[in-house]
Amino acid sequence: MHSLHSRLLLAASLVLAGFLGATGLALDKAFRVSAEAAMQERLQSHIYALLAAADEDENGRMIPPAELPEPRFSKPDSGLYALIAGASGDPLWHSGSLTGRDIDMTDRQRPGERRFSRLARAGLQLYALAFGVAWEDDAGAEALYTFTVAEDTTVFQAEIDSFRSTLWRWLGGMALVLLLAQGAILRWGLRPLRTVTHDLQQIKKGRAERLDGRYPRELTGLTSSLNSLIEHGKAVQIRYRNSLDDLAHSLKTPLAILQSGQSGNSGSDDAPDAGHALVREQVERMDEIISHQLQRAAVSGRTTLARPVPVGTVVERLVRSLDKVYRGKPVTVELELDPSTTFTGDEADLTEILGNLLENAYKYCRRAVRVGVQTDQHGAGIEIRIEDDGPGIATGQIDTVLQRGRRMDESVPGQGLGLSMASEIIAVYGGQLAISASSIGGTLLRVSFRD
């Protein structure tokens, strides 16, 4: 049962079979009860007819009916039988249909009482109704009688069997029709899943780049996540390519210096020592560049199952580290951190983003840095604000500082990669980096992520 369609169809079929089975049993039971009630009323009407046909003698005592109201009472073994018993229970009269049969149907009842029962007598299955009667003669004396009428269950059972056969044929036909309709509905309802599978196969074969079909609301979360995953994969490839390009470009200068150092110092007495020192220096620089670019290439990006990272904790850790790095500079940091604000993604990526932005703030500020972290007012994302009181960035230079390797202040050490790298990682997560003037005189960096 690895097919979702088969599992749903089997489960629905079992439920349908159980429901129709229970319905059939309930209807069968209801029909039987109704038929037995109708039988009881029919036997009662026969008793009333016998009472109406009974006569009296000259003293007012009852005389059993000479002419029976129902012809079946006069026909032997007709299946309809009548018996009148006295107060002692001894039979006083029986219908002609009982001729030649010894069937004890006596069931004494008090006047006005009746009992409906099923009997098995002389190989017959009977429904019997016994009714108690008090007959008063002319002298005012009461004589007690019990009128009993019984009918063979053969006809009754034939009606039950006929109804049962018709009922189960109709329920079986309905079940078949419902199963076919149910299978068609399930196939139609699960069609969007087959469409998603087909569209993914098209992407796999290179015939499409993303899931662009019209899908039901229940699948939009899945398709959006798949599209994000596909775009993330492409972004990772581009980022690796750019990082390798950066790595190759960054290594050109150290290699050129190594070559010129080796050739330029070949005629000097101090050439070996100076050359070795130069080689060590450039090799260390090359190692730093390689580590930096590989770390940059390893940005993981947003993933659906990423563990939420408390943003405030990362900020506090970075501030403590930067306070030590810039301990010779009197920097006052004001933190406004919402402890409930979390970042859905890789903690190393968040550290890389905030580390670059905070380092820029420390580097260019005069003496004040302000950091604010909060959840969006609609709960749909987070916002991080980093401000400094430095010289700021002119509006016309904002696009320039976001370019790789471009720096506005060459007097401050650095390679001009911090802002551009942070911007690229933010873009991978679908966020935005906005640069504007700060209320404390320098630059305001606003980073926002939307869920």
pLDDT by residue (tens digit) across 167-193? 999 999 998 999 899 889 888 888 888
Interatomic CA distance for residues 353 and 343, integer angstroms:
12
Distance separating alpha carbons of residues 94 and 105, to the nearest angstrom: 10
| For residues 307-321, average pLDDT | 90
pLDDT tens, position by position, 22-60: 999 999 999 999 999 999 999 999 999 998 888 888 888
Is the pLDDT at 162 greater than 80? The verdict is yes
Rounded Cα distance, 30 and 36, in Å? 10
Residue 290: count other Cβ atoms within 10 Å of its Cβ: 13
Task: Taking residues 197-219, report their average pLDDT.
Answer: 81
- What pLDDT was estimated at residue 116? 92
DSSP string, 33-86: HHHHHHHHHHHHHHHHHHHHH-EE-TTS-EE--SS-SSGGGTSTT-SEEEEEE-
Positive or negative, the Cα torsion across 25, 30, 33, 39?
A: negative
Whether 287 contacts 300, CB under 8 Å: no
Cα atoms found within 13 Å of the Cα of residue 32, Cβ hemisphere only: 11
More confidently predicted of 93 and 283 = 93
Q: What's the pLDDT tens digit per position in 365-411? A: 999 999 999 987 766 789 999 999 988 888 777 777 776 544 444 44
SS3 content of the chain, % helix, strand, coil (to 5): 50, 20, 30
Determine what percent of the chain is predicted with pLDDT higher than 70.
82
Task: Tell which residue, 31, 12, 144, has the closest CA to residue 89.
Answer: 144
The residue among 309 and 246 whose pLDDT is bigger is 309
90-125 pLDDT, tens digit each: 888 888 888 878 787 888 888 989 999 988 877 788
Across 191-216, average pLDDT: 82
For 410-431, what is the mean pLDDT? 69
Confidence of residue 413 (pLDDT cuts 50, 70, 90): very low
The Cα 360–Cα 388 span in angstroms is 9
Tell me what the mean pLDDT of segment 304-309 comes to. 64
pLDDT in tens, 331-347: 999 999 999 899 888 78
Which range has highest mean pLDDT (63-72, 118-127, 158-167)?
A: 158-167
* Three state DSSP letters for the chain: CCCHHHHHHHHHHHHHHHHHHHHHHHHHHHHHHHHHHHHHHHHHHHHHHHHHHCEECCCCCEECCCCCCCHHHCCCCCCEEEEEECCCCCEEEECHHHCCCCCCCCCCCCECCEEEEEEEECCEEEEEEEEEEEEECCCCCEEEEEEEEEEEHHHHHHHHHHHHHHHHHHHHHHHHHHHHHHHHHHHHHCHHHHHHHHHHHHHHCCCCCCCCCCCCHHHHHHHHHHHHHHHHHHHHHHHHHHHHHHHHHHHHHHHHHHHHHHHHCCCCCCHHHHHHHHHHHHHHHHHHHHHHHHHHHCCCCCCCCCCEEEHHHHHHHHHHHHHHHCCCCCCEEEEEECCCCEEECCHHHHHHHHHHHHHHHHHHCCCEEEEEEEECCCCCEEEEEEEECCCCCCHHHHHHHCCCCCCCCCCCCCCCCHHHHHHHHHHHCCCEEEEEECCCCCEEEEEEEEC
What value does the mean pLDDT take over residues 274-302? Answer: 63
Sign of the CA dihedral running 146, 151, 157, 163: negative
φ, ψ at 129 (rounded to 5°): -130, 120
* Residues 289, 247 contacting (CB under 8 angstroms): yes
pLDDT of 448 over the 70 cut = yes
CA-CA distance, 79 to 73, in Å (whole number)?
9
Residue 93 has φ and ψ, to the nearest 5°, of: -160, 150
pLDDT (0 to 100) of residue 387: 94
Q: How confident is the model at residue 270 (pLDDT cuts 50, 70, 90)?
A: low
How much is the CA Rg of the chain, to the nearest whole Å? 50
Report the mean per-residue pLDDT for the chain: 82
Residue pair 363/389 in contact by the 8 Å Cβ criterion: no
